Amino acid sequence: MKLTTCADTPAQWRGEVLALAVPQGPADQNPLAGPWLAAVDAALDGAVSRLLAYDSFTGARDELVTGPGVPARCERLVLIGLGRPDAVTPHTARRAGAALARTLTSGPNRRVALALESWHVDGTDLTEHLTEGLSLAVHCGRWNVLPDRFRADYGADLPREPETVELLGAASAEPLTRAEAFTDALVLARELVAAPANLITPDRLAREATALAAAHDRFDVEVWDEEQCRAQGLTGFCAAAVGSAAPARFIRISHRPATPSGPPVAVIGLGLTYDDRGVARSGGAVEGAKKYMAGAGALLGAATALATLGGTREAHLLIPAVAKTAGPKSLHLGDLVTTASGLTVEVNHPDAHGRLMMADALHLAARLGAERTVGVSALGLPVAAALGPKAAALWSTDDALAADLAAAGRDAGELLWRLPLVDEYEDELWAPFANLRSAGPAGGDGATAATFLRRFAPQGAWAHLEITEPAWSPRIDGYYNAGATGYGAGTLARWLCGP
């Protein structure tokens, strides 16, 4: 599907589907009371009036009606509601784009146009967000990046994808470049997380990272096996990797701009490519074997956007990857682990692996001189009872970093909710024969897990995102497909690339 801008007006354009995105007016006001839609209706020989005569439409958010178009001009006419102008956000604009995509799954759709009275609504440029939502919804059921197809009859039941979508009256193509980069980021993250766990192994993640770095001269990559990790002093990671179902890998991708601005930053994406405990927590559901590598998927996705759009800061992207399974050589309750920082950890919880992997990655970020460090993981922390399935938890030692990440999340349509770091919870991690325990009491495990990670964070600003719940959706919801959502990739991409 090709996205382009077009100078045509709705009256001039010719094709299969013409879509008009309309903000909601005052209560009980006929949408045709607006001068722009009334003028379009007149130019289309009353096609909008005929459509509204049969369907109720006010322009409310998520509202959509479709009907016959105008002979020799367009075969189908679609009206999409944007909601109240003062409530239009990047998220609601993406939902409108997704609604259009989902109505294109039947009937002629080779050439599609989208028109608005203004591509700016209440100060928000909708070009990037509408087209991103459209592209993400079109991805439903497709494998666009990974060469694996998983089904012998792949594609037989997929709806035909539009060849072109033209944005009528959009002033600049630059937002389309950003939309494409951010869409590619989420699509890669989705496909990595959704793919079968026996195919997306730590080594496969390393090969994806290596291929990305090889294609862009501002990137370099290092991949360490367990022996090399031991040589690097990553003893906590090595302890978590013992008994891994596939050889563990520690991946470091570095992006170096031509003229870097300021000290380097680091982002860590946890890659539990398989998690036997995750399967148990999910009641045996398949997603339990997959979604605990969502942090790594989000970070690799964000790296593709960084490759396309660039960034101003040197960035180190760290992915500790392990396929976690139970076994006689795996970590046991009561084990003592010495981490890369020198701190010792008493394993008192069967999910200690991810925390030990993150601890060593945080220590490496400090060694690399990162001034700002962001971690993203699906650790299965119990925050959904408070935040629900569509928001991620955010902990941070720095107000400015937390604000920057929250702003990037809003622009990406990914809600981050900041939770407190409570000094007194350090006491819950006290251990008589180690510097700290791997987990606190079950009732406050999310809070104590954040406290645990803070002990290993570099001296500069640090933040952590916990994305277990929003990383997987049980059903199609707006621009989220059923299954892996790619959550986190949009936030990280925007934070790394800048506005």
Q: What does the alpha-carbon distance between residue 11 and residue 14 come to, in Å, rounded to a whole number? A: 8
Closest CA to 46 of 62, 67, 25, 27: 67
Q: Please name the amino acid found at residue 72.
A: A
pLDDT > 70 in the chain, percent: 97
Q: Are residues 88 and 217 in the same domain?
A: no
Q: How many CB atoms lie within 10 A of CB 8?
A: 14
pLDDT > 90 in the chain, percent: 68
Q: Mean pLDDT over residues 131-145, rounded?
A: 88
Q: Are residues 155 and 196 in the same domain?
A: no
Q: Determine which helix (DSSP H) or strand (DSSP E) holds 3, and give its type and residue range.
A: strand 2-6
Torsion angle in degrees (nearest 10) through CA of 327, 328, 334, 336: -100
Q: What is the DSSP-derived secondary structure letter of residue 158?
A: P
Q: What does the alpha-carbon distance between residue 219 and residue 496 come to, in Å, rounded to a whole number? A: 14
pLDDT number for residue 284:
63
List strand residue ranges (DSSP E) for 225-304, in order.
Answer: 249-255, 265-269, 271-275
* pLDDT classification of 397: cutoffs 50, 70, 90: very high
Q: HSE of 341 in the Cβ direction (CA atoms, 13 Å)?
A: 23
pLDDT number for residue 33:
76
pLDDT number for residue 283:
67
Q: Determine which helix (DSSP H) or strand (DSSP E) holds 67, and give its type and residue range.
A: strand 64-70
pLDDT number for residue 105:
83
**CATH number, domain containing residue 201:** 3.40.630.10
Q: Are residues 437 and 376 in the same domain?
A: yes
What are the residues whose beta carbons fall under 8 Å from the beta carbon of 222, sequence distance 6 or more?
Answer: 251, 252
Within the chain, how many helices (H) and strands (E) appear? 15, 22
End-to-end C-alpha distance for the chain, whole angstroms: 26
Tokens standing for residue 132: 């991103």
Q: Are residues 265 and 291 in the same domain?
A: yes
Q: Determine which helix (DSSP H) or strand (DSSP E) holds 374, and give its type and residue range.
A: strand 372-377
Q: Mean pLDDT over residues 2-7, rounded?
A: 92
Q: Are residues 440 and 468 in the same domain?
A: yes
pLDDT at 286 over 80: no
Q: How many CB atoms lie within 10 A of CB 308?
A: 17
Longest Cα separation, the chain: 82
The pLDDT tens digits for 179-193 are 999 999 999 999 999
Q: Are residues 344 and 395 in the same domain?
A: yes
Q: What does the alpha-carbon distance between residue 67 and residue 445 come to, in Å, rounded to a whole number? A: 53
Closest CA to 108 of 163, 158, 155: 163
Determine the 3-state secondary structure of 377 from DSSP. strand
Q: What does the alpha-carbon distance between residue 493 and residue 489 come to, in Å, rounded to a whole number? A: 6
Q: What angle do CA 380, 270, 431 make, to 5 degrees?
A: 65
Q: Mean pLDDT over residues 433-462, rounded?
A: 90
Q: Are residues 30 and 160 in the same domain?
A: yes
53-67, 145-159, 183-197, 308-322 — which is least confidently predicted?
145-159
* pLDDT classification of 16: cutoffs 50, 70, 90: very high
Q: What does the alpha-carbon distance between residue 333 and residue 16 come to, in Å, rounded to a whole number? A: 63
Closest CA to 1 of 149, 116, 100: 100
Q: Are residues 196 and 166 in the same domain?
A: no
Q: Are residues 353 and 262 in the same domain?
A: yes
Burial category of 15 from C-beta neighbours within 10 Å (exposed 0-12, middle 13-18, buried 19 and up): buried
177 lies in some domain:
no
Q: Are residues 157 and 254 in the same domain?
A: no
What pTM was computed for the model? 0.94
pLDDT at 326 over 80: no
Q: What does the alpha-carbon distance between residue 155 and residue 158 come to, in Å, rounded to a whole number? A: 5
Q: Are residues 470 and 326 in the same domain?
A: yes
Tokens standing for residue 428: 């819950």
* pLDDT classification of 149: cutoffs 50, 70, 90: low
- Considering the chain, what is the average pLDDT of its residues? 91
Q: Are residues 435 and 481 in the same domain?
A: yes
pLDDT at 444 over 70: no
Is 139:145 a contact under the CB 8 Å cutoff? no
Q: What is the DSSP-derived secondary structure letter of residue 477?
A: B
Tell me the residue range of the domain where 488 lies: 182-497
Q: Pick from 172, 198, 224: which residue ends a domain?
A: 172
Q: Pick from 141, 172, 203: which residue ends a domain?
A: 172
pLDDT number for residue 303:
97
Closest CA to 478 of 27, 94, 73: 94
**CATH number, domain containing residue 128:** 3.40.220.10
Q: Mean pLDDT over residues 261-268, rounded?
A: 94
The pLDDT tens digits for 195-228 are 998 999 999 999 999 999 999 989 999 999 999 9
Q: Please name the amino acid found at residue 443.
A: G
Closest CA to 263 of 404, 453, 460, 31: 460
Q: Pick from 115, 146, 172: which residue ends a domain?
A: 172
